[in-house]
Structure 1
Amino acid sequence: MRPDQQETAETFLRRKAKNLEFFKRRFPAIYKHYGNLLMKRVELVVSPVESDVDLHVDGKSLYQGKAKAVGVREAEMFLADNEPYEYLKTFRPPRASGYTYPRLGSNMIRRCLEALPDQGEEFVGYPMGNFFPFVVFLGCGLGYQIEALVSRADVINALVFEPDEEKFAASLFTVDWESICEKFLSRKGYDIRFAIGVDATNRSLKELLERNLNKRVPLHPTMTIYFNHQACGINRSFAEEIRKDLPTLFASWGNYDDEMKRLNHTAFNLRAGSKFLRNSATGTFHKPVVIVGSGPSIDERLPLIRQSRDRVTLVSAGTGLKALINNGVKPDFHVELDPDYLIYQLLSDIGKEKLKGITLIAVNEINALVPELFDEVFLYAKKDNPAPIGFRLERFAFEHCNPTCTNAAFAIFQQLGFRNFFLFGTDYGFKDRTKHHASGSVYGSRDEDSEVSVLLNDLAQKHFLEGKLIEVDSVNGGKILTRSDYFTAMRSVENMLRWARERDHDVQVWNCADGAVISGAPWLAPENFEEKIDLILNDAAQEPIPMDVIRGQVETHQDPELEERFAKVGTFIEARADQVRAILHSTSLRGKKDVVRLMSPLIDASQVVETPKGFDAPQPEQFVAQHVLRGTLMHFMTVGLCHVMAAGGDKDAVPVAETWKDSFVEFLKAVPGHYSKVITDQRSGEGERWLRMTIHDRETAVGG
């Protein structure tokens, strides 16, 4: 700035100081980062003749000297493109047919939906009214477009995403962030948040945006409207990638019924004083580990496994076990992740005799009947689950185990120091709807004498032959079909591979399945498998036997305070349920906006664990309580938000909102007694009955 612009310069400097003081009070993390940040790549340029400014980034003008004018024009264009009472077309409201399990949470959501108008096939979108439920600003720049929009429109929730930390630093000079933010912070039910990239790559920026969006469910994705500053192509690509990955978001929600089943199994396994596998690598091991799922390509590849059986460590994952055993191949280890009683039924159908000599590695949530089928059993915990914190299992917790058994098998062996992996039957898709699993698996042929075979094949008929499928790239070129849960599993493997290689470049993974392309795992043709095994074994001949490595990480876990911990979880569940009820009763529901204004406090209640009075940190059992409730809270919130917003106007929305609120409150009242009867009141026998119930069986506990 030139000397004759001194007065203007002082104005900008005062504005920055004021903004920093505001962020210090309300967003201390932003203040901490920007308090002393120097702008090295960007320069704020003040026009000598007009009341406007420009921003130069790496020497190039962003606004051609008219940043204010550009911001106002963008806000006006956004409002023109999103006129009041037009339809927002994102995702359909939930329907009763999506909640079929005869359990407490699912029952109550289904009854709620049955009492609401069914949007059905005629649904065309959400009539938006004269406000915006959730605006995501893709790019902040100098902030004038944000300032202009919030002064012209009623935005209830906002996320400001700026990939470039120095651009945001420049905005501290140009707009009054306190004035912008107070439009949200001073009003009940309004919310604004920031996501700013720091030394970020495109991948980490996409993950930053996705992570912050996922914290705003159900506003995201159903009510998300993007405001893309300067029509930025990179930011648009982030939004498109996130949209493509939405199946992974939906798959991660969970629900109260499933979490209670998992917690009940955990209780039985911990009470039994089980042996656990420590996550403590004692070295680096290169002997080949072959992980086998039950994808259809395993049928063609099984001769390779049989031929090399004694030269590799063979690990079956989930339903991959039966595909191996039915073809005369017995693995060293079998990994289980699914907690349902169905797993016990499947393994019982194989028979205890055929399971002899196989070491079971199972999640702490495994049905407590399963371990009795194996001679040797080691449990593990998942680090992305609160059980390790809540029940003192941190040293047994492994990263990236979800969402399938093949993910868990790879995660465990990789984190224990193994470095060479061959993935078989990990197709994550199929060419033919009628051949979606290996012929030797439980899905390969219908056994009328097996209850579980009949059930699973009936479900397969529904999901594979009649269900909605998507396309993904095939290792052989072209496309194959897949389901959203398989897509989620594939993405999880790819993320885990990146995570593992960031920590150890020595990790090698080959995709020996003839299904979907797995980024980071090159496809290995059948004729090259033996050669790879030979090369690896030549270099690893002196390494210890993998079975000895695994057994060296085993210890028995005993917790004398276990029952006290479960009681505390129940206390915190009741407190959280009371908190959510208080939020629901905090305002009269007179229209759509009132329900949208409930979303921010409800989202916080479902996702944030606060420090209780009298303590200096959240208690471990709080995280378990929050996790048990979170999924069904999110489902209830989604039902309310979507069905209220789908109503024609406020008059139609009010009875929908009241019905939803009453159903939600009924669930919250039932939860504490339900938890007690299943988990802490061992005399009731309910928890033991649950061991022999699948998620499809009607429960007998409170409210079931």
Structure 2
Amino acid sequence: MWPYSQQAIQQRFRKNLSFFQQNMPSLYKVLKDIRFKRLTLSVDEQKKRWDIMDGQRSLYLGDGEGYATEEANTFCGYFPEGAGIQTIAPLQVDNYSAPRFFHNHLNTTLQQLDYSAMDPKCHRMPDFMPLVVFTGIGAGVHIQKTLEQRDCQVVLVMDTDPEALLMSMYLTDWYDIIPRYTTQEGRFFNFILVDEVDEQRTFMGFWNELVQYTPLFPSLNIFYNHLKEAFRDKLIKRIQEEFKVFLTAWGFYDDEANQLNNALHNLKNLVPTLPRNLEADMIIWANSNPAVIVGAGPSLNERIDWIKENRKRFFLISAGTALSILKHHDIVPDMHVEIESDYATVDHLKATLDENYQIPLLAGAIQLNPRVFNLTQRGLLYYKDSTALHAMFGARTSAQLQGMTPTCTNAATGLALQLGFKQLFLFGMDFGYKSKTETHAAGSVYFDEKAPKYLQDSIGERMSNLKVEAIDGSTLLTEPIYNAARDRVEKLLYTFQHQAKAYNCSLGAKIDGTEVVASRDFFEAMIGAEVHPDEYREQLLYRSVLTAPSEIDQGIKLAATYLGNVCQFVRQEVKAMNPDYRGLVMAVLKITRRLEADFRKQRTPLFYLVRGTIWHYLNAGISVCYTATDTDTGLKHLKIWQARFIDFLEQWPQHYEWLVERNVDANDDGWLVKRIGEAVDDPFYHGPASAAKGDQA
């Protein structure tokens, strides 16, 4: 019997429906209520051909099976054994050279490898496909044809249309395919359906699903865009552009340890934190007054007079090193925002603040270096997202702000929005520059001869050739961290689109969700009358909260238990894995899926204490194995990595215990005068006490 006869497709549909009901009940609940509105199946039993019509459009040009077969053959031909997987660059021997515990441990692992037998440019396809992401279900036959030709270990099928999945149940033997993808068989299969509301939400839906497979995604994934659909192709390209930005947001334990040490000092020194709920009068004040947020981008040179000559008509928030530019123009902000835990924050504030120039309020992340509060009279802390610190110390009494990483500009934007400001004017938030000699506005601390040399030198270290679209349609140079910050601002504005309006008064990159302000007259017409911020700042401080010593102790113990449990679980999985290419993929999948599932179930931000570090070490395993130019070298490298990762997982909880029990006064703590790329007093660090070069932070 022809497999697509009317009798065959009805039998297949019933089998698939029964399979989904028993094995995929959540998808079954969606499918059982679907009625075909757009898609129609056309079957010609005489010619033995079938097609699917999307309205009046033929998807397969009259021959569905022929189209799917040819498309699958073409896709498989692109990725033969040994082909390069062009996603992110493999690790190099000096990627983790910072003289701290985690970096040093992983760096020692990488130094044991034979780099002469490794591809420095890309990962290589083994005799199977580690991770295939099919975008577009269509009839599903192209997926079945691909899986008949190639052994695909992890298969993700993504679409926005449940109707397509329902249609595929007539044509594709899901009931036969999916049962072969079990962890016992060393394989995995999953459907991912997201709503197609608009491009941004569809992108975020796909992205949020894919990151659950990190670091298999983005290191080893390949995309199959069925029917070469333009909308999905655009989404894939956007996902690929996000790869490098994504890597900068992973974080790692050395930074987490540094942040924890800083936070413990700040809490014990009784620096107050932003309360969990702001009272109505505070929200009303912010609702009623415009906020100007100032970054350090070069276009601030052309717009600084807008700020200076209207200074009393808005609440002025400076972000990071923009403070030095405001000082250059004799402008004092109403609030200054910092986020970076590194000692560089202390250095740039030392170079900016003096007896003649002070700020009325410093709003800093809880992990800010405590030495900054020796430089300013009044400070307020906030908990940002994507760290474990709020779950440890602030969950009961303090607010946790969203969208605060990776830079001060998006942190200032996030803080303003979550304080309740409804009108935001963004100055000097360029997120790019025309040339590598014009990266910051005049007066920046980076141009200050009195500033530390490493701050001055950093201006000349711009190596990125990334491009970004400017507001006038031209192209600017940018960097991964600037792209990440702009992306975070756009997501914040999207989230708050019904509560606030943002105006782009910068002359840099295009910022989605903002209205570009071209004229000074428009700006001055929007900002209104004089603002009186003194009482507002007083009330912010008065209503802030302190953390009791008992809560600090409870938070330390909570994180210790979580870290110990995670290390035990990961260590067991790494020990039990088959020490080969497939075994590594399955171990990575089990570990990351379990940690993500626990995180989503328990909603515990303690996950951020471990996530980035585990991703980095797992990704190192992928890199050392999948870049090898021959299988024997790959397996040899894998054994080295396996033993070293187990060793790290045994030491990690011990390091945490040592860190939280140090009990060193802030005035005597040597950690507080070192940058993250410099060695500190740490019995777990075994290496040269020199500053890192090429640190992958």
The CA deviation string for residues 103-162 of structure 1, in whole angstroms up to 9 with x for no partner, is: 111111222222213369973544423200111101111211212222332111111111
SS in 2 for 1:522: strand
Contact 1:19 1:176 in 2 (8 A): no
Q: CA deviation at 1:9?
A: 6.5
CA RMSD of aligned residues (A): 3.0
Q: 2:59 aligns with which of 45, 57, 62?
A: 62
Q: 1:350 aligns with which of 352, 362, 374?
A: 352
Q: 2:481 aligns with which of 469, 481, 485?
A: 485
Residues in 1 aligned to 2:506 and 2:196: alpha-carbon distance in whole angstroms: 37
1:533 aligns with 2:530: no
Q: 1:659 aligns with which of 622, 640, 645?
A: 640
- 2:142 match: 145
Aligned length: 675
Q: CA deviation at 1:243?
A: 1.4
SS in 2 for 1:115: coil
- 2:688 match: none
Unaligned runs of 5+ in 2: 686-697
Matches within 5 A, 1:286-365: 286-351=288-353, 353-354=355-356, 356-365=358-367
1:648 aligns with 2:629: yes
Change (3 A) 1:535 1:219: closer
Q: Which amino acid aligns with 1:296?
A: P
- 1:251 match: 248
SS in 2 for 1:585: helix
Matches within 5 A, 1:92-171: 92-118=89-115, 123=120, 125-171=122-168
SS in 2 for 1:156: strand
Deviates more, 1:473-482 or 1:669-678: 473-482
- 2:211 match: 214
1:23 aligns with 2:23: yes
Contact 2:387 2:609 in 1 (8 A): no
Residues in 1 aligned to 2:550 and 2:367: alpha-carbon distance in whole angstroms: 19
Q: TM-score, normalised by structure 1?
A: 0.88
Q: Which amino acid aligns with 1:15?
A: K
Change (3 A) 1:585 1:684: farther
Change (3 A) 1:58 1:594: same
Matches within 5 A, 1:443-462: 443-447=446-450, 450=451, 453-462=452-461
Change (3 A) 1:684 1:598: farther
Change (3 A) 1:560 1:474: same
1:421 aligns with 2:420: no
Q: CA deviation at 1:412?
A: 1.5
Q: CA deviation at 1:323?
A: 1.5
Contact 2:671 2:680 in 1 (8 A): yes
Residues in 1 aligned to 2:567 and 2:211: alpha-carbon distance in whole angstroms: 22
SS in 1 for 2:152: coil
Residues in 2 aligned to 1:639 and 1:684: alpha-carbon distance in whole angstroms: 37
Residues in 2 aligned to 1:642 and 1:497: alpha-carbon distance in whole angstroms: 36
Q: 1:381 aligns with which of 383, 408, 412?
A: 383
Contact 1:606 1:633 in 2 (8 A): no
Q: 1:200 aligns with which of 192, 197, 216?
A: 197
Deviates more, 1:308-317 or 1:679-688: 679-688
Deviates more, 1:197-206 or 1:337-346: 197-206
Residues in 2 aligned to 1:323 and 1:75: alpha-carbon distance in whole angstroms: 57
- 1:518 match: 511
Contact 1:188 1:597 in 2 (8 A): no
Matches within 5 A, 1:456-605: 456-462=455-461, 464=462, 467-501=463-497, 503-504=498-499, 507-525=500-518, 528-529=519-520, 531-537=522-528, 547=537, 550=540, 554-558=544-548, 560-589=550-579, 591-605=580-594
Contact 1:421 1:509 in 2 (8 A): yes
Deviates more, 1:321-330 or 1:47-56: 47-56
Residues in 1 aligned to 2:471 and 2:78: alpha-carbon distance in whole angstroms: 41
Contact 2:360 2:377 in 1 (8 A): yes
Residues in 1 aligned to 2:683 and 2:559: alpha-carbon distance in whole angstroms: 18
Deviates more, 1:391-400 or 1:412-421: 391-400
Q: CA deviation at 1:683?
A: 6.6
SS in 1 for 2:682: coil
Q: 1:677 aligns with which of 648, 658, 668?
A: 658
Contact 2:323 2:352 in 1 (8 A): no
1:176 aligns with 2:173: yes
Contact 1:140 1:160 in 2 (8 A): yes
Deviates more, 1:157-166 or 1:275-284: 275-284
Residues in 1 aligned to 2:202 and 2:449: alpha-carbon distance in whole angstroms: 47
Change (3 A) 1:120 1:90: farther
Contact 1:289 1:314 in 2 (8 A): yes
Q: Which amino acid aligns with 2:21?
A: E
Contact 1:313 1:546 in 2 (8 A): no
Q: TM-score, normalised by structure 2?
A: 0.89
Q: Which amino acid aligns with 1:523?
A: V
Matches within 5 A, 1:686-697: 688-697=669-678
Q: Which amino acid aligns with 1:171?
A: S
SS in 1 for 2:516: coil
Q: Percent of counterpart pairs with the same letter? A: 25
Deviates more, 1:368-377 or 1:415-424: 368-377
The CA deviation string for residues 33-87 of structure 1, in whole angstroms up to 9 with x for no partner, is: 2233333332344444366643332354323554344333332232223222333
Contact 1:15 1:174 in 2 (8 A): no
Residues in 2 aligned to 1:79 and 1:619: alpha-carbon distance in whole angstroms: 40
Contact 2:92 2:120 in 1 (8 A): no
Change (3 A) 1:274 1:469: same
- 1:618 match: 602
Residues in 2 aligned to 1:66 and 1:221: alpha-carbon distance in whole angstroms: 34
Residues in 1 aligned to 2:138 and 2:539: alpha-carbon distance in whole angstroms: 54
Contact 1:42 1:58 in 2 (8 A): yes
1:34 aligns with 2:37: no
Residues in 2 aligned to 1:517 and 1:145: alpha-carbon distance in whole angstroms: 39
Residues in 1 aligned to 2:620 and 2:532: alpha-carbon distance in whole angstroms: 59
SS in 1 for 2:292: strand
Q: CA deviation at 1:482?
A: 1.4
Unaligned runs of 5+ in 1: 612-616
Q: CA deviation at 1:273?
A: 4.0
Residues in 2 aligned to 1:22 and 1:174: alpha-carbon distance in whole angstroms: 20
Q: Which amino acid aligns with 1:435?
A: E
Q: CA deviation at 1:562?
A: 2.4
Change (3 A) 1:8 1:406: same
The CA deviation string for residues 568-602 of structure 1, in whole angstroms up to 9 with x for no partner, is: 2112212211221211111342x433333332123
Residues in 1 aligned to 2:554 and 2:544: alpha-carbon distance in whole angstroms: 26
Q: CA deviation at 1:314?
A: 1.3
Residues in 1 aligned to 2:19 and 2:57: alpha-carbon distance in whole angstroms: 26
